[in-house]
Every structure is written in C-alpha cells, then in structure tokens.
C-alpha cells in the first residue's frame, strides 16, 4: 500500500508540539510520508524542512490555499494554536479531497467546531482529532479491568487533578492560555482531554452539577532564562473546575481539577474507580491523560482477598520503538487511521461532543445554574426554629 501523503501545518524548525508529538512517528513510518510543510512563511517552512532533514522534494507553503491546491496531499495535519484552526482549515475543507487531522480543540468554540465538522461531512473526507488519550495503554487497561469484572459493578468514579498550567505563574509563551476567548484553556484542553479519556473507560455523564471559577484573576509571566517576572496579565480562563453527577451506568462521578502544579512528589492525577468487589486506583505525574506519563501506576484492591495488586501494562510496538512519550499515543492514532480501524480513533463528530460539553459548562457558569441551591442550614430558615 502506498504511504499516506501528509501536508503538515505548523511544523516549526525549533521545538513545538508538532516536532515533539507528531514528527517522531511520521518521519519513520512506512504508512506515511511528509510531502509538504505550511508555516507562516515559505522561508520558515524551508527552514523546518532543513532542520528536520526531510527530503529535498518536500514542498514549502505559506498559506492554506496552497495546501488545498496541491493534488499530491492526501492528509492535512494541523498542529497550530487553536484560534488559527478555523481560518486555516475552512478553505482546505471547502476545496475538498483531503482528509484532515486537527489537534484538539477543533475550534475556538462550539460554533467553529460544528461548522468545520459539517464541512468535512459534506465533503465526504475522513477526519481525526487529537484526543489521543483514548489510545493510552494505562487508561485502556483500566477499562479492561472494569470490563473483565475485576471490581464488580462500578459504584463511583472520582478524579482529583492538577493542571500544572493556570497557576500563579506561567511561561510567556503560554500567555494565550489565560484568555478564554482564544479557546485554549484549562476547561477546553486539560479538563476535556482528561474527561474524554476517562469516559472511554467508565462511560458518559447522564446528569451533573458543575462549578467553574477564576480564583487567580491575574498571573505572573515568568521567564526561566532570567528567573524574572516579565509581566503580569489578567486571566479570564477558569483555573478551577468541579463536576459531580451520575454516569449513564448509574455510578456516581466527581472530578476536581485546579490550575498550578501538584505538591512535589505527589501525583498530578488520582483517578479512582470504586466497585462492589474492589477498587482501581490510577495515578500519574501528569493530569492530562492524553500524554503518557513514565510513572503511571495502576493498583487493584480486591475487597474479598484483602490484596492490593500492582497491575502491569504490557508495552506495545510504539513503546518498544522508544518514541518520545508524547509521540506514542499520537502514533497510535496514526496507526489506527492508516489501517481504517475507525473505532480506535476519534473523528470530528467526537470532537463536537467534547465541544458541546465545554459549551454547556460555560453556559451553566454564566447563568449560575451549576452552583446548585443556596445553603440554608446556617440561616435559621431550615429545620426547627430553635435558639442554639
């Protein structure tokens, strides 16, 4: 089978997500061939071609129109800032004829995501979105344990996670995360990746309450090169998110994610699945389950035996290929896409579902519907009228 010919938007000459998470797999895969790069200028695309030692035949472009017009591209990969997804991808989709992989979030908001998904469907092209946590071996192992009945019926699921970003300080290059309107923030990125991955193991929400809050309305931009604060900027992105409710299975569900790093030496995420016969505890240094953490740990407590088992996750071919950790789940998506294993990679219909949840969380926060009923127990209006 001929390799899938890739036109890559956003592969820079220096370090970037495209370089870290996409290039290691694509460059060595027999299933794919990078044939074109599109950056902000032809010169920057040429510099990236040279820096990554891509074939001299690799084309350099500076506009989505040029990518759209190239008949030698089968798959467009978009790995740029979220607020640029829509203007770059819309003309490519309107031209038709090319499948598209886009990083998550698909657009800045639900409207952009739905429009892009509708365009792709109308053109009959295949799509994929970077919700690669679904292919993470650790999370899939949790699902396997549940499906095998190792903990009986699931009664409750709880998640406590630290986003690392959206704390008191941020890198200057990540200042855009503080602006909710950009579309890249803790709710859209960190929380959504985590919820998407976990939902593959335990199912979707049936009902819920939620609280979103900005508890640090300003953030210091810290330059590690000089160890100095270079600016202080306002924050409109939420840095705390709490959700509690019921899953479609009837199990109770809760998640608390906050901005900032974890306590040194403690996990960035603790995910518990409590059942009638046992409990699974998943921990990792990194809260975002789309990334593969080197210290992921799965423990299984068997209630009747009173034992706690450390559950091993066997390595697969991409682990054994020693790809960078960030590239492994992305590589697993590419493998499934090339082999047309459609149940194993998320498409833009899946992306729209995630966008709808994000939008719903925002709407509930806007109306105050997520906060629940006012507490009455201290007001003297609840219970018997007694002098205490």
233: domain CATH number? 3.30.360.10
Same domain, 112 and 200: no
Residue 326 belongs to some domain of the structure: no
Same domain, 174 and 77: no
Q: Report residue 52 as tokens.
A: 């990554």
Strand partners, 244: 209, 254
Same domain, 127 and 140: no
The pTM (predicted TM-score) of the whole model is 0.94
Same domain, 285 and 144: yes
Q: What is the CATH number of the domain that holds 77?
A: 3.40.50.720
Same domain, 23 and 73: yes
Q: Report residue 363 as tokens.
A: 């709407």
Residue 374 belongs to some domain of the structure: no
Q: Report residue 228 as tokens.
A: 């100095």
The DSSP string of 5-55 is EEEEES--SSS-HIIIIIHHHHHH-SSEEEEEEE-SSHHHHHHHHHHTT--
Q: Quote the pLDDT of residue 15.
A: 80
How far apart are the C-alpha atoms of 165 and 115, rounded to whole Å? Answer: 29
Same domain, 105 and 220: no
Same domain, 209 and 116: no
Same domain, 162 and 308: yes
Residue 98 belongs to some domain of the structure: yes
Residue 220 belongs to some domain of the structure: yes
Q: Quote the pLDDT of residue 156.
A: 99
Q: Quote the pLDDT of residue 386.
A: 56
Number of domains in the chain: 2
Residue 357 belongs to some domain of the structure: no
**Domain containing residue 231:** 136-314
Same domain, 84 and 168: no
Same domain, 8 and 156: no
How far apart are the C-alpha atoms of 22 and 328, rounded to whole Å? Answer: 9
Each residue's pLDDT expressed in tens, for the chain with a length of 388 residues: 899 999 999 999 988 899 999 999 999 999 999 999 999 999 999 999 999 999 999 999 999 999 999 999 999 999 999 999 999 999 999 999 999 999 999 999 999 999 999 999 999 999 999 999 999 999 999 999 999 999 999 999 999 999 999 999 999 999 999 999 999 999 999 999 999 999 999 999 999 999 999 999 999 999 999 999 999 999 999 999 999 999 999 999 999 999 999 999 999 999 999 999 999 999 999 998 888 788 999 999 999 999 999 999 999 999 989 899 999 999 999 999 999 999 999 999 999 999 999 999 999 998 887 777 788 887 777 776 556 5
Q: How far is CA 227 from CA 112, 222, 224, 230, 233, in A?
A: 38, 7, 5, 9, 17
Residue 294 belongs to some domain of the structure: yes
Q: How far is CA 133 from the centre of its chain?
A: 7
How far apart are the C-alpha atoms of 75 and 4, rounded to whole Å? Answer: 7
Same domain, 149 and 293: yes
Residue 321 belongs to some domain of the structure: no
Same domain, 257 and 224: yes
Residue 365 belongs to some domain of the structure: no
């Amino acid at each position: 089978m001929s390799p899938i010919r890739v036109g890559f938007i956003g592969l820079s000459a220096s370090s970037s997500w495209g370089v870290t998470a996409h290039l290691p797999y694509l460059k060595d895969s027999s299933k794919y061939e990078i044939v074109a790069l599109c950056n902000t200028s032809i010169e920057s695309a040429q510099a990236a071609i040279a820096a990554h030692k891509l074939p001299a035949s690799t084309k350099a472009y500076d506009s989505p129109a040029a990518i759209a017009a190239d008949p030698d591209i089968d798959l467009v990969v978009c790995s740029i800032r979220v607020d640029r997804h829509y203007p770059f991808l819309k003309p490519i989709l309107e031209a038709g004829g090319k499948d598209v992989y886009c990083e998550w979030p698909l657009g800045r908001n639900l409207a952009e995501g739905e429009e892009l998904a509708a365009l792709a469907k109308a053109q009959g092209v295949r799509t994929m979105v970077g919700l690669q946590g679904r292919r993470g071996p650790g999370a899939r192992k949790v699902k396997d344990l549940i499906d095998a009945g190792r903990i009986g019926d699931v009664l409750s699921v709880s998640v406590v996670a630290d986003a690392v970003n959206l704390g008191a300080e941020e890198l200057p290059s990540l200042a855009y995360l503080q602006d909710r309107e950009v579309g890249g923030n803790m709710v859209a990125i960190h929380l959504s990746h985590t919820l998407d991955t976990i939902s593959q193991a335990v199912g979707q929400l049936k009902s819920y309450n939620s609280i979103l809050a900005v508890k640090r309305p300003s953030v210091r931009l810290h330059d590690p090169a000089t160890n100095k604060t270079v600016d202080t900027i306002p924050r409109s992105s939420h840095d705390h998110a709490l959700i509690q409710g019921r899953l479609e299975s009837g199990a109770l569900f809760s998640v608390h994610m906050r901005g900032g790093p974890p306590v040194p030496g403690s996990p960035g995420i603790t995910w518990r699945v409590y059942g009638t016969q046992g409990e699974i505890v998943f921990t990792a240094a990194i809260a975002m389950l789309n990334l593969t953490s080197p210290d992921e740990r799965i423990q299984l407590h068997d209630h009747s035996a009173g034992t706690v088992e450390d559950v091993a996750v066997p390595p697969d071919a991409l682990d054994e290929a020693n790809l960078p950790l960030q590239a492994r789940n992305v590589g697993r998506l590419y493998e499934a896409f090339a082999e047309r294993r459609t149940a194993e990679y998320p498409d833009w219909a899946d992306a729209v579902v995630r966008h709808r949840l994000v939008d719903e969380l925002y709407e509930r926060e806007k109306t105050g519907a997520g906060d629940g009923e006012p507490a009455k127990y201290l007001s003297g209006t609840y219970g018997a009228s007694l002098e205490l």
